[in-house]
Structure formats: structure tokens, C-alpha cells
Amino acid sequence: MGSARKAKQDEFYTQLSDIEKELKHYTKHFEGKTVLCNCDDPRVSNFFHFFSYNFEKLKLKKLITTCYKNQDTDLFSTHEAEKGVYLVYEGDKNGNRVPDPTEIGVHEFDGDGDFRSEECIALLKEADIVVTNPPFSLFREYVQQLIDHGKKFLIIGNHNAITYKETFALIKANEIWLGYSHPVAFVVPDHYEQRSVRSWRDDNGTNWRSLGNACWYTNLDIAKRHEELILFKSYSPEHYPTYDNYEAIEVGKFADIPMDYDYSMGVPVTFLEHHNPEQFEILGITDRGNEWGLKTREYKRADVPNPGDLNRRAAIKTDKTYKATYARLLIRKIK
């Protein structure tokens, strides 16, 4: 995804099965709501397919999907046309419970359909919930727009976005959290080059890429946010060393969080998959430790030959040297 961001290769199209797998956990949120998918080609998008075919089941009020520039009915935007389009579906009218073309209103934008345009923002204001796979390169800006307009959302992003300054501030404040599943395989435009790994063409010649670190971000309440982690390990200094540059202990796996330790702990970022804000408080993240005054020291060349890694992460002091951990969430149990 980092390479995609640099190359502006943002067109990763989500499988219907991945949408179904995640959306089954959110059905209670959609009754009477207007859903906006504002980063899709609505005539072929699997997000549009899911919501239009489940319109009555979810008891939706309205479905709006927007398309950036392209007006041809193919999977990927060629961006040759200068105007975007948007579709509006308000449910079955002829009783066959199928979204027929005659029941879908097709409208042309004056502009290109960019989600940041005034026309798209007007549709955003009309929506209750936004569900889509936004451009990877614009993730920060996209999320901030949703937050600024007070919208509920369920979107796909890079798992590494957890460590972004803007995203983590929202996670820490319990304004955004992770969903249930992890989409892996995405269809990409035919002209995207084949990679040596995680890239292939199927028997029909469709171009695929696999992303091992995609996940769902949401601010819709879900059941797992209220499930407590069962703790069964006991604390001992031998098994849980204290960091040299943070007042916290190292917990290498979230399953090893000790049940009898009430102070600060460093846990892997994967802990967020199981975080219950009623059980644990998120204090910060080691990659951005100074932003919350959590770091207790900065290393210099007099301490170690290459202090950069240690200053970016939590460090464990051994007899002869220091060991830097991977990024760690700093958490504390809520009493």
C-alpha cells in the first residue's frame, strides 16, 4: 500500500464476499438510513451491488453512490470524461425486489465527482452512513472529512494507518476503531504491472493483488467492543521486562496481558482487534510517545551507535546492549 500511495495506484476494488463478511455485523445500524458510497463506480461497484440487493432487508431509506469522472460502464475509471456521475436508489418499485435499471436514478455532476468537491460534500451532508474503499493515498484527508461532518462510516484502509498521527489520535480518543475482518484480494486495473509477490491473473485474465495489511475502520458500535479479554497470566519481572525509555512493561502478545498488573503496558498493535474501551485505556503509542509525554529518555550516540530505532520505539536494556521492540500500544487497565 505504501508503494501504491507513492505511485497513486489507488484503484483496488473490493470483493463482494469481503463486503458481506464485514457488513453482517452492522445490520442494526442501517434501518431508515441513507447510505453513501462516494469512492465507487456505482454501476459496477460491489458496494452498490450489496446495498441495492439488500435494500429492503436492511430497511434503507436511500442509497447514493458516486463515480469520479468516468462515465463508461466498465470496472475502472479511465478518467477520460470530465464529469462524474452519481446514482440514487430508493428501493424496489415493481415488487420483484431487484434493483432494475429503470428504478435507479442516474445523475451527472457539473464537476468531476471528486469526494472533496462541493457537489459530493452536499451528498455527504445528506447521508447518515458512508461505506466504501477510499483511495489509499488520500486516507488521512478522507477520514478527516468524515469526522469534520460528523458522519458514521465503515471504510477499508491500510492497517499501518493506525500509526498515522491523525488516525491514532482518533483511536486514542475512542472516535474510530477496527472492524472484524481483513480483506485480502482486490481486483486492480489491467494496466497495473505484475509484482513478484501478491500479484496474479486468474483464468479470465483479471488482474489481482493481495494486500496482507488491509482492514476495516469504523465508528459504528459493534459487539466486540464490549467483549472483555479473558486474562489468565500472572505478572513477574522476569517474564515482563520494563522498558528503558518508558514507564511500562513489555507484553509481547496481547494474550499474555497479566491479570494482576494495574500499571502501564506495551502491547502489539494487533491488540486493537480486541480492544474493549471499558476494560483498557489507550495511553499512546511508542512511535509517537513524545506527543503524550510518555517517553522518559532520548538516546544519543554516546549511548548506542544508532539511536534512531530506539528513539522511535520502546527499548529493553540487556546486559550488553539495547533491544528495540516493534511499535507498541501503551495501555492500562481501567479499574
**Domains and their CATH numbers in the chain:** 2-224 (3.40.50), 227-333 (no CATH)
Q: What is the pLDDT of residue 190?
A: 85
Which grid cell is 74?
466498465
Classified as helix, coil or strand, 277 is: coil
Q: What is the pLDDT of residue 240?
A: 98
Quick check: 20 pLDDT over 60? yes
For residue 324, give the nearest of 292, 287, 281 by alpha carbon.
287
Distance separating alpha carbons of residues 185 and 204, to the nearest angstrom: 16
Quick check: 51 pLDDT over 60? yes
- Residues 6+ away with beta carbon under 8 Å from 274: 224, 227, 229, 254
Model pTM score: 0.89
Classified as helix, coil or strand, 231 is: coil
List the 199-201 sheet strands across, edge first: 13-14, 185-187, 207-210, 199-201
Give the pLDDT confidence of 129-170 residue by residue, as tens digits: 999 999 888 999 999 999 999 999 999 999 999 999 999 999
Phi-psi category of residue 224: left, alpha or beta, with phi > 0 → left and psi -120 to 50 → alpha: alpha
| Helix (H) / strand (E) containing 141 | helix 139-148
Give the pLDDT confidence of 67-95 residue by residue, as tens digits: 877 544 443 444 455 778 899 999 999 88
Other Cβ atoms less than 10 A from the Cβ of 270: the count is 13
What's the chain's average pLDDT? 89
